[in-house]
């Protein structure tokens, strides 16, 4: 029973990987995902200059998931390009993901120019959905801006590239975003990023649990799985089949991954649960997914990918 997959024309031995932001800040963390059963890794979203991010505490696990307002801390794109370049030489038969995010179109173009000038041979994940930089709106909710960004991006960059989207909650928004995304030769769409600007409260102290933004932060974990599944399936139904789906959100078991794939995902990313259990989680998730598949007589992901049935 195989959990291998293909994305952007590349083969991956396993369909599981980390979600950007989790276990991918530096070489110490990335090495652990690289050494795990994950099929590959994606780096922390990289910006033009290194960033220290928001004041701590800025991440809190909760009983049902997590809340974070990291504020885009990262070592800057050159750091990650160097790391990936090393891994391309050390472990050449794997394809890696570089996440990037600019503060405007010019920065997006600058980041992509840096990638083009490097020996990077992987897949770019353009993050359009960071909810935690004060004053920076979630680009994914500004449809005209998304169209302008993608028009510029595909004019200047010609390698495999996908976008990380925020969750949408309105059918008309799925229709409008799909109409924009279908205009571009995207390798994939990754749904979903955290549900932005949630609030977790410590009732004993009557205080919020993270410092930035009066305690407001992106929500991950069990809370967001129904929204994640809906976004995966909505785009799977609407997008040109050449644009694959990466499913992210609420995956903490093999069955959760099965559900994302049934909704149409070709790759699944793990955030909150990876943060809690560490990269060893990929062994359990892979085993559990294989068990789910075996119980249903499936031997490969394409046996059931996108085959969610309706009641009508």
Ligand X SMILES: O=C(O)c1[nH]c(=O)[nH]c(=O)c1I
Q: Which residues would be at the binding site for ligand X (CB under 6 A)?
A: 21, 45, 68-72, 127, 129-132, 193-194, 218
Minimal distance in Å, beta carbon 232 to ligand X? 17
Active site residue 15: no
Contact 45, 101 (CB under 8 A): yes
Give the residue with the Cβ less far from ligand X, 2 or 197: 197
* Dihedral sign of CA atoms 77, 155, 139, 65 in order: negative
What span, in angstroms and rounded, lies between the C-alpha atoms of 69 and 196? Answer: 9
Closer CB to ligand X, 132 or 266, in the complex:
132
**Smaller CB separation from ligand X, 111 or 262:** 111
Backbone torsions φ then ψ of 294, nearest 5 degrees: -60, -40
3-state secondary structure at position 16 = strand
CB 222 within 8 A of CB 66: no
Smallest gap, in angstroms, from Cβ of residue 308 to ligand X? 26
Of 15, 24, 130, 263, catalytic: 130
Min separation Cβ 287 and ligand X, Å: 28
For residue 43, what are the contacts with CB-CB under 8 A and spacing of at least 6?
20, 24, 30, 80, 83, 84, 96, 97, 98, 99
> Of 121 and 136, which has the nearer Cβ to ligand X?
136
Q: How far is the CB of 59 from ligand X (least distance, A)?
A: 9
Q: Which residues are catalytic?
A: 130
């Amino acid at each position: 029973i195989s959990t291998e997959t293909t994305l952007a024309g590349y083969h991956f031995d396993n369909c599981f990987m980390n979600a950007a932001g989790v276990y991918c800040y530096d070489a110490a963390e990335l090495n652990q995902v690289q050494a795990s059963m994950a099929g590959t890794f994606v780096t922390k979203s990289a910006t033009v200059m290194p960033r220290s991010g928001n004041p701590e505490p800025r991440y809190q696990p909760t009983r049902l998931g997590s809340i974070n307002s990291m504020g885009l801390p990262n070592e800057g794109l050159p750091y990650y390009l160097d790391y990936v370049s090393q891994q391309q030489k050390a472990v050449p038969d794997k394809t890696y993901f570089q996440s990037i995010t600019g503060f405007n179109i010019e920065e997006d173009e600058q980041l992509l120019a840096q990638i083009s000038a490097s020996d990077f041979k992987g897949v770019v994940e353009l993050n359009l959905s960071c909810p935690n930089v004060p004053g920076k709106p979630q680009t994914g909710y500004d449809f005209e801006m998304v169209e302008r960004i993608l028009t510029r991006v595909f004019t200047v960059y010609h390698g495999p590239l996908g976008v990380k989207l925020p969750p949408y909650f309105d059918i008309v928004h799925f229709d409008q975003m799909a109409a924009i995304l279908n205009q571009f030769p995207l390798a994939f769409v990754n749904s979903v990023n955290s549900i932005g600007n949630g609030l977790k409260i410590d009732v004993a102290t009557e205080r919020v649990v993270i410092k930035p933004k009066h305690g407001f932060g992106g929500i991950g974990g069990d809370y967001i799985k129904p929204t994640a599944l809906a976004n995966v399936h909505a785009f799977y139904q609407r997008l040109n089949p050449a644009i694959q789906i990466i499913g992210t959100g609420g995956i903490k078991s093999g069955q959760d991954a099965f559900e994302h794939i049934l909704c149409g995902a070709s790759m699944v990313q793990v955030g909150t649960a990876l943060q809690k259990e560490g990269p060893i989680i990929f062994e359990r998730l892979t085993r559990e997914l294989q068990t789910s598949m075996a119980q249903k007589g499936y031997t490969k992901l394409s046996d059931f990918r996108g085959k969610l049935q309706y009641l009508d």
